[in-house]
Structure 1
Amino acid sequence: MITGPDTPELLRAAVRNNAEWCAAVSGGGTFTADAWTSAHRTPPYYPDGVTLTPQASAGGLLAGMDTRSPGCSVKDSFAALDLAPAGFEVLFGAEWIHRPAHAPAPAASVLAWTRVADPGELAVWEAAWSGGGEGTGPFHPGLLTPEIAFLAGRSGDGRVVAGAAAHRTGAVVGLSNVFAADGTPGDEAWSGALAAVAGLWPGHAVVGYESGEDLDTALRHGFAPLGPLRVWLHTA
């Protein structure tokens, strides 16, 4: 884990970036000093609430969310809450990660990386991200903004075989939804996506969160852990 005077600031930047990404994908929600919440059910894979400070209270957070319909979830950004009394269970744990702006350049990619330019390309990207599924993903054309980039790694025949989503807020870029398809190595997706981010927003640190093998891959590509988080799912 990174330790030093900048660690709290880096962690806050990563958390805020992710909350704003969740708000963009979900189409709104409400920010307070301690949390972002959505009163309506968010798209699949996205939380209904994200804590922004370790001091966020369970009561204040849950008051802004719909806990009555199935699927309510919370990103406990500092692994500081106990939501079990409210009928939640821990779905998984992960680590916030950070790659400094001055980190060495990633390895060259054998794929051709481009930024998704229109809704048609976004649909193709999403189909590759989901493994060929259609109409089930959370990504919509409203996300095609100057501060958000869907990055597509294409093979020689033009197929999207790797990709990632990047979202800039302030001095950091959040990298998420990194994927590799059709036998493409995961390391290829990470190195290509990081190179694309550096080309779009030079001099920016890259943040995000990962777990398991994806965390191991991110660490190989110059990231370091910042701190733990937990995702809770309402089951009662």
Structure 2
Amino acid sequence: MDNDALVRAAALNNAEWCDAVSRTHGVKGAFGATAWTASRRTPPFYPDAVTLTAGADTPEILGRVDIASGGCSVKDSFGCLDLAADGFEVLFDAQWIHRAAGAPAPATDLQWQRVETAGELAAWEAAWDGGVTGLFLPDLLGDETVAVFAGYDGSTLVAGAVANRSASVVGFSNTFGAWPGALAPIAELWPSLPLVGYESGDDLDDALAQGFEAIGPLRIWLA
């Protein structure tokens, strides 16, 4: 895939991840031709809309989300929307990233395991420390397209990452600690698919140092 196709695949993959997390909280999203949207407020850190094409129509998107109650967010996957006149401001800009399938995985001293139980997931969330609890719910573990990985130093959970598989790519997100070690078990689980995700700032620099490449801009808008 060229970069344009990779960005479209990354946007769809990310929308599928947002949909999976939202479903576990009882929020049902809808996939349209140009965007994924949720009519109810999504869980913390997750957008109410993710654009899937550069030609997404702003009125259509905003007509499918809750902009009346405040706190609505839109992931502009192509960095091309202007939502300022609709009461939104830019929360942050980032870059989609890509790592080719089969790229060598870095060595790690940690022991990596796939999270399989509700207790393990709760411990993983506490180590992730996003400032919230009950965001990642056990129903995620029953989704065959999602894999949560934990890295252990002895018996202490010190690192982690989430991977979610779609048709042509694997999404990579929610990293913490010595996260590059997760690249090996993800590649073992889905060896034929490239990795995609998005990062900004120092986290983008870290990803580029691990063999990812920047493939296109995105922007998060917040009402």
TM-score category of the 2 structures, normalised to the smaller one: over 0.9
Give 1:102 deviation, angstroms.
3.0
The aligned counterpart of 2:34 is 34
Q: Indicate whether 1:219 and 2:208 are aligned.
A: yes
Matches of 1:141 and 1:67, distance apart in 2: 29
Match of 1:183 in 2: none
For 2:54 and 2:169, the matched residues in 1 are separated by 21
Structure 2 distance, partners of 1:79, 1:6, is 18
Distance 1:155 1:47 in 2: 33
Contact 1:129 1:163 in 2 (8 A): yes
TM superposition shift of 1:137: 4.4
1:143 aligns with 2:140: yes
Q: Indicate if the aligned counterparts of 2:3 and 2:216 stay in contact, CA closer than 8 A.
A: no
Q: How does 1:178-217 map to 2 (within 5 A)?
A: 178-180=175-177, 188-190=178-180, 192-217=181-206
CA distance in 1 between counterparts of 2:50 and 2:179 reads 27
SS at match of 2:133: coil
Q: What is the Cα deviation at residue 54 of structure 1?
A: 0.5
Say whether the 8 Å CA contact 2:34–2:51 is kept in structure 1. yes
Are 1:154 and 2:152 an aligned pair?
yes
Q: Which residue of 2 aligns with 1:184?
A: none
Query: How far apart, CA to CA, are the structure 1 residues paired with 2:2 and 2:134?
Result: 36
4+ residue runs of structure 1 moved beyond 6 angstroms?
Answer: none
Distance 1:164 1:122 in 2: 12
Q: What is the CA distance between 1:206 and its match in structure 2?
A: 0.3
Structure 1 partner of 2:91: 91
Contact kept, 8 Å, 1:34 with 1:55, in 2: the verdict is yes
Q: Determine whether 1:61 maps to 2:61.
A: yes
| Cα distance in 2 between the residues matched to 1:39 and 1:118 | 30
Once the two structures are superposed, residues 22-55 of structure 1 have per-residue CA deviations (whole angstroms, 9 ceiling, x without a partner) of 0111113111000000010101100000000000
Q: Distance in 2 between matches of 1:58 and 1:117?
A: 40
For residues 45 and 72 of structure 2, the distance between their equivalents in structure 1, rounded to whole angstroms, comes to 11
Paired position in structure 1 for 2:51 = 51
**1: CA distance between counterparts of 2:145 and 2:50?**
20
Identity %: 57
Cα RMSD (Å) of the superposition?
Answer: 1.2
Instruction: Give the letter aligned to residue 16 of structure 2.
Output: E
Q: Is there any run of 5+ residues in structure 1 with no aligned partner, and where?
A: 181-187
- Check if 1:10 corresponds to 2:6: yes
Residues 44, 137 of structure 1: 8 Å contact kept = no
State the shift of 1:18 in Å: 0.3
| Kept in 2: contact 1:15–1:52 (CA 8 A) | yes
In 1: Cα distance, 2:9 partner to 2:168 partner: 8
Partners of 2:77 and 2:150 in 1: CA distance: 28
Query: What amino acid sits opposite 2:15 in the alignment?
Result: A
Task: Please list every run of 5 or more consecutive structure 2 residues that lacks an aligned counterpart in the other structure.
Answer: none
Once the two structures are superposed, what CA deviation does each residue of 1:185-219 show, in whole Å capped at 9, x if it has no partner? xxx322x1111111111121000000001100000
State the TM-score, normalizing by the size of structure 1: 0.89
Measure, in 1, the Cα distance between the counterparts of 2:116 and 2:196: 23
Check the 8 A contact 1:130/1:137 in 2, yes or no: no
